Amino acid sequence: MQKNDLILRVLNGEQTERVPVWMMRQAGRYLPDYMKLKAKYDFFTRVETPELATEITLQPVNQVGVDAAIIFSDILVIPQAMGLEVLMEEGKGPSLPRVIQTQKDIDALRTDGVEESLNYVTEALSLTKKELNGRVPLIGFAGAPWTILCYMVEGKGSKTWDKAKQFAYTQPLEAHNLLQKITDITIQYLIAQVKAGADLVQVFDSWAGSLSPADFKIYAQPYLLQIADALKPHAPVILFPKGTWHAIKDLGQSSAAGIGIDWCIDPATARAFAGNHITLQGNFDPAKLLAPIPDIRNAVKEMINGFGHHRYIANLGHGITPNVPVDHARAFVDAVKEFGVNPTYKK
């Protein structure tokens, strides 16, 4: 039985006794126990060993008190499973030695057996689900097609994503073929995650904001909507296209149960754009966790007042950074638990 199902009820549009809270990248380098495992095992060993992935997934639940667990993995397991090598070098971030440039490269990407090659993720989900024993819901995730294309074409992180955009603007047919191929695999992968125990899924479109509003509608939004439509019968979906305040209104009409919001829009405006029929999640500036604790608490209070107590999940506007003191992360979570109590809640 699910003992704490706050997030699931909020995504379902129900009133809850308080606002639930979790943090993107909540399992990571700001946690000393994570650093201990990081010192012993390289990144993909941690990701590919279900016992390690489970242990890491549970750390923020046990140590910070969040209302959901998100499976420890990475969005780049998809390009890996499709046959592209992915390296994770300390201090450098991810890199892909072989990148996509032509239709031939796209045709060579594997689509068969992708689910089997990602068995370690579904095993980690089943094991985590068992260990959680209903304490909090379990979140599965994948990268959005545009964000995955960005890495497949650039081969590493970028401030401008100009090579990925050049590919889209000079070879639009190939770009759409690639985006569709990633979309099809991602749908299968997310459904497999739900079958293995994920209670909801989030789609990270971290680099959606690199596109203009018009190009977002061409290269990102249609694929996000396909994923939301396909997952709807299986589990609630949260779409997080970072940096796209302009899309909130359209996505508010989609099959998604929730939309992730970054800190470049104020909560009341995001709510006005989205309407009242979709759950919003966000949007605390992760760097604000470096402020003094009393300031964090005040900012949390304002954020909740802006979004309202209904159809709202408190979170950061992007991933937590490694330099956040654990007691500041805890202060953020505790402040939501305190100020998020719904004064008008009726059972």
Is residue 223 a contact residue for ligand CP3 (CB under 6 A)?
A: no
Bridge partners of residue 88, in order along the sequence: 94
Is residue 324 a contact residue for ligand CP3 (CB under 6 A)?
A: no
Is residue 193 a contact residue for ligand CP3 (CB under 6 A)?
A: no
CB atoms near residue 12 (< 10 Å): 13
Which structure tokens are listed for 134?
A: 């209903």
- Cβ closest to ligand CP3, residue 80 vs residue 221: 80
Is residue 70 a contact residue for ligand CP3 (CB under 6 A)?
A: yes
For ligand CP3, the binding residue among 77, 96, 114, 141 (CB under 6 A) is 141
In the three-class reduction of DSSP (H, G, I as helix; E, B as strand; rest coil), residue 12 is classed as coil
Strands 93-95 and 138-143: unpaired
Convert residues 82-121 into a mask of x (bound to ligand CP3 by CB under 6 A) and - (unbound): ------x----xx---------------------------
Is residue 74 a contact residue for ligand CP3 (CB under 6 A)?
A: yes
For ligand CP3, the binding residue among 41, 43, 120, 245 (CB under 6 A) is 43
Residue 19's contacts (CB-CB under 8 Å, 6 or more residues apart) are 10, 304, 309, 312, 313, 314, 336, 340, 342
Residue 302's contacts (CB-CB under 8 Å, 6 or more residues apart) are none
Is residue 206 a contact residue for ligand CP3 (CB under 6 A)?
A: yes
Task: Kindly write down the DSSP assignment for every residue of 77-130, as one continuous string.
Answer: HHHHHTT---EEETTTEEE-SS---SHHHHHTS--TTHHHHTHHHHHHHHHHHH
Contact set for ligand CP3, span 142-171 (CB under 6 A): 157
Contact set for ligand CP3, span 234-293 (CB under 6 A): none
Is residue 75 a contact residue for ligand CP3 (CB under 6 A)?
A: yes
Task: State the Cα–Cα distance between residues 196 and 121, nearest whole angstrom.
Answer: 9
Summarize as ranges the residues that interact with ligand CP3 (CB under 6 A): 24-29, 38, 43, 70, 72, 74-76, 88, 93-94, 141, 157, 204, 206, 318-319
